[in-house]
Chains A and B, each alone.
Chain A
Amino acid sequence: MSRLKLTGVSKRYGDFLAVDGIDLELQSGEFVSLLGPSGCGKTTTLRMIAGFVDPTLGAIEMDGQILSSPSGSVPPDRRQMSMIFQSYAIWPNMTVEQNVAFGLELRKIARAEVKRRVGEMLEVVHMNHLADRYPAELSGGQQQRVALARAIVIRPSVLLLDEPLSNLDATLREEMRFEIRRLHDEFHVTTVYVTHDQAEAMVTSDRIAVMNHGRIEQVDVPRALYDRPKTRFVAGFIGRTNFIEGSSDGHQIAFDGFALPQSSFERDVAAGSKAVFSVRPHSMRLSETPPAERNGAVGVVVVERAFLGEHWDYVVRPRDGAQTLRVTTSPMQDFPIGATAWLEFEPRQMALIA
């Protein structure tokens, strides 16, 4: 049975529909991210799971019991959950140890036991040497670790994280992504993680729910989201991509300035209908000479280029078309602007967008 289940959850603020009928199920011990741009309703969804916000419609269940519904909700303090806030919300008037012990003390656990568990937890997050410090004396990353310790030490039924890394600098952010995943692998707490950073979601999550305008566009494992985006939004939000439109005549699909045989695609496009594909910049190959197998190779002109160290970024235009495409190549492939080249498509890596 699933641990946490959201059914048709909506939240309306006046005329604004912040969350629009979300369905989501988490298995016990699963790590799911809500990923989306700001204002997509991900934080509202998280706060509804926590119980700070009541849904306008729908229900949130845990282990088969209803937590939230329009007719009434279990208050946050009785949900046995934990949450990590954007500001960490580490209480500055308490030491690290007191912060972590707070939740245990509320559970009327014996003092010695509290001390032992707090000590263990601080050790796990590598903070035991700073137990007596006040939060103001800690760095951002250390505060983050305290927030994690405070949330996990009570063994919550669900752990909620609200953009926990958005206040850290880039290197620390990368380090903490792995730290969060490591803690999850150690404690297997069912986790909902809200972020707008795709890399964060991809490093930490078992599955990612991409949200837009209050709806979930797609829920999938990270790899599938990238390779097989189901909507234009998902394709554009996760990684960079080109959108190209083609129409099928039953044998081949004609794009702007080139055509590819229908048979090389995984999914069929009905004859006479149009379809949009998402093509990742590095799923195409750019070469100086026409490849041996001419199928799927198109003559192009280099329009723009930028050298980014790890790769080249080219914008090319098919010789017989108007729509430009972004292509990424290895740093070794140096084409001047205006040069002609051959662009090779890999139809199996072209995702058909609904």
Chain B
Amino acid sequence: MTDNSLDVRAVNFAGVASRLRRLDASMLLWLALIAVLVFLILNPVLRLIVSSLQETDTGHFTLANYRSAYGSLRHLESLAHSLELGVGVAILATCFGVPIAWAISRTDMPCKAFVRLMVFAAFVTPPYLGAIGWILLAGPNSGWLNKVWMALTGASHGIFNIYSMTGLILVVAVTSFPYTFVFTSSALDLVSSEMEDAANILGARTLRTTLRITLPLVTPAIIGGIIISFLEAIALFGAPALIALPARFNVVSTQLWQFFEYPVRVEEAAAYAMPLLAITVLMFWVQRRILGRRGYTSVTGKGSERRMIALGPWRWAMLAYALMVCALSVFLPMLVLIQAAFAKAWGRGFSLDNLTLHNFYYLLFEQTQAKQTIINTFLYAAITAFAAISLTLAIAYVVNRKLVPFSNVLAFLCMAPFVVPGIVLAIGFYAAYASPPLALYGTATILILGFTTRFLPIAYTSSAAGLRSINPEMEEAVRVLGGSRLLAIRKVLIPLLKKSLAGAWILVFIPATRELSSAIFLVGPNTRVISVMLYDLSEEGNFEVLAALGVILLVVTVVIAAIGSKVIGRDFMLRRNS
């Protein structure tokens, strides 16, 4: 008897010890992950807030930064301009995106695949390239559209001026309407035809059904799209810098940039960035509230066979509208951009003697800095994508399998950069890591860290979605046959996840190659990337070389995206997975 109870105690003790050991290991893992996330996200944001309340030299508490940031009428005007830009873009992007989404998802409009492809093209075009295209198209007098107008009417002045708030709104809207498109069409794809059939059989025709049933069903998604395009617009740096500055007005992002001109006033910039942060956080909260209400799309059962609405002759009108949007966002700007890239002087037009490859030759062989810049861009983007995916995959695994307590904190932190505009994040990084002790200013490290943080949410949603699609029983089958967890991950999980990880890599890589708004605050002389160089070139007015550089960026992007669609499935980037 005694022996027996001793045994039991021994067993109990061993159990406790092993549990302690397990808890220990998982705590360590948790602490490590938390530390990384705090370093990447929490610390920069907190430093941003703290330094907005600090005196520049002494570090004492002060409100002076806020006073000087909001004390001037010019600064307040910039805020108003940003709001105007955001609202304008949101409205225009909705007018572009929603009808096209409806036409593609619910009707028999012809050429759907082509229109989808063009929306995708608009999606991968960096806004600043679109802006440059539009400067070539609608620059006062010299722009192509103005020249055509003058040739047609004999007028001495053109009628389009891209250097205006209207121009800026147009330029940003044509590059951000894919957001409203993606939101709306993915919601429409979930609406079963039976929802519409039910209204039909009760006596409602197509128009009434669309207005009373279909569109209300996707209203939360449309609002989501509106919010995203609004937030994109106010956080954007490139396009406003290219268009608003020559037009002699500022928006918040360009104003923030000016705080970084000598003498650099980080604390004031931090104070001035607060509304951007606050609005973004607020808007995402609003969006969550709206999307969470009534469980809109949750009510679908089996048998959601989907049929397209026959538009009759109207389908051609719909196609014409879609093509017009494509023309504004892709055909026209890309046409003039490509022309400029291969031209000696873009203003001399489409003649053969104006054709040259010199712009590319210059970039790739003559100008050493440009070569370095191109290499930097793709190298940083590739490292960023690897870093972001390794980190988020580890976190998604830990969260999904509930390996550690409070794993949701990890998930939350991963998604947090979503509500921090790139430009604000960059200022936070600058405030936290540019100066000693880390003194990362001008290093590749700070850029890669900044990019990694910026694209963490994209990486996390992809990793988590990939993991969710894999039944844990796949791994448990390995464990039960005697394999360790690591073996299960190596032999089963990673091979199964290969495709979605490749997709996630591309989803991070592409935006990282074109990222401007955070890069511009973090680059040093030796770490320039294409987006920053494009911006610098535009200040010099060297549009031919600039266009050539833009074409290089686009070609690489398109090739990578094409490989992605081939490997992972058509239009994998246009899926909404957040």
Contacts and interface: CB of A to CB of B under 8 A. Distances in A.
Contacts of A90: 299
A55 interface: no
B299 A79 contact: no
Given A77-B200, A90-B299, A92-B296, 4 more contacts: A88-B299, A92-B217, A102-B212, A136-B298
A347 interface: no
Given A77-B203, A91-B213, A85 B294 contact: no
A87 B298 CA distance: 11
Given A91-B213, A92-B299, A93-B294, A83 B197 contact: yes
B559 interface: no
Q: Which of A88, A154, A162 has the most chain B CB atoms inside 10 A of its CB?
A: A88
Contacts of A79: 201
Contacts of A88: 299, 301
A107 interface: yes
B108 interface: no
A307 interface: no
B294 A136 contact: yes
A50 interface: yes
Given A76-B197, A87-B194, A91-B198, A106 B299 contact: no
A154 B304 CA distance: 25
B204 A91 contact: no
B312 interface: no
Q: Which of B199, B299, B302 has the most chain A CB atoms inside 10 A of its CB?
A: B299
B59 interface: no
A86 interface: yes
B25 interface: no
Interface string B170-209: 0000000000000000000000101101111111110010
Contacts of A50: 197, 201
A152 to B, nearest CB: 11
Contacts of B200: 52, 75-77
A107 B202 CA distance: 9
A264 B205 CA distance: 62
A78 interface: yes
A89 B203 contact: no
Given A86-B303, A103-B203, A106-B203, A92 B298 contact: yes
A154 B195 contact: no
A344 interface: no
A77 B217 contact: no
Closest 6 CB pairs of A and B: A136-B295, A87-B301, A103-B202, A86-B303, A89-B198, A89-B194
Nearest to B304: A87
Contacts of B216: 91, 93
A87 B197 CA distance: 11
Interface in A72-117: 75-83, 85-93, 102-103, 106-107
B297 interface: yes
A2 interface: no
Contact of A76 (B195, B201, B300): B201
Contacts of B204: 77, 102, 106
Contacts of A75: 200, 205
Contacts of A87: 192, 194, 299-304
A89 B195 contact: yes
A163 B213 CA distance: 23
B213 to A, nearest CB: 6
A333 interface: no
B301 A102 contact: no
B299 A107 contact: no
A255 interface: no
B216 to A, nearest CB: 5
Interface in A134-167: 134-137, 143, 150, 154, 160, 162-163, 166-167
B369 interface: no
Q: Which of B194, B205, B216 has the most chain A CB atoms inside 10 A of its CB?
A: B194
Interface in B290-337: 294-304, 307
Contacts, number: 100
Nearest to A85: B194
Q: Which of A51, A77, A134, A150 has the most chain B CB atoms inside 10 A of its CB?
A: A77
Contacts of B307: 52
B141 interface: no
Given A52-B197, A85-B194, A87-B192, A136 B202 contact: no
28 contacts: A50-B201, A51-B201, A52-B197, A77-B200, A79-B201, A85-B198, A86-B194, A86-B301, A87-B192, A87-B299, A87-B304, A88-B301, A89-B192, A89-B198, A91-B199, A91-B217, A92-B295, A92-B299, A93-B217, A93-B294, A102-B199, A102-B202, A106-B202, A136-B296, A143-B299, A150-B202, A154-B202, A167-B301
B339 to A, nearest CB: 47
Interface in A254-289: none
A90 B301 CA distance: 10
Given A85-B197, A87-B192, A93-B216, A77 B205 contact: yes
Contacts of B208: 106
Interface string A115-144: 000000000000000000011110000010
Contacts of B400: none
Nearest to A99: B198
A135 B194 CA distance: 15
B219 interface: yes
Q: Which of B198, B212, B219, B301 has the most chain A CB atoms inside 10 A of its CB?
A: B198
A91 B195 contact: yes
Contacts of A83: 197-198, 201
A135 B299 contact: yes
Given A136-B295, A162-B303, A89 B197 contact: yes
A52 B200 CA distance: 9
Contacts of B219: 93
B211 to A, nearest CB: 12
Contacts of B296: 92-93, 136
A85 B200 CA distance: 12
A81 B302 contact: no
A99 B194 CA distance: 14
B552 to A, nearest CB: 47
A166 to B, nearest CB: 7
Nearest to B206: A77
Contacts of A163: 303
A118 B195 CA distance: 20
A103 to B, nearest CB: 4
Contacts of A86: 194, 301-303
Contacts of A166: 302
Contacts of A52: 197, 200, 307
A144 to B, nearest CB: 10
A193 to B, nearest CB: 15
Interface in B4-60: none
A301 B294 CA distance: 63
Contacts of A106: 202-204, 208
A78 B205 CA distance: 9
Nearest to B307: A52
A107 B203 contact: yes
Interface in A47-78: 50-52, 75-78
A92 B297 contact: yes
A93 B295 CA distance: 9
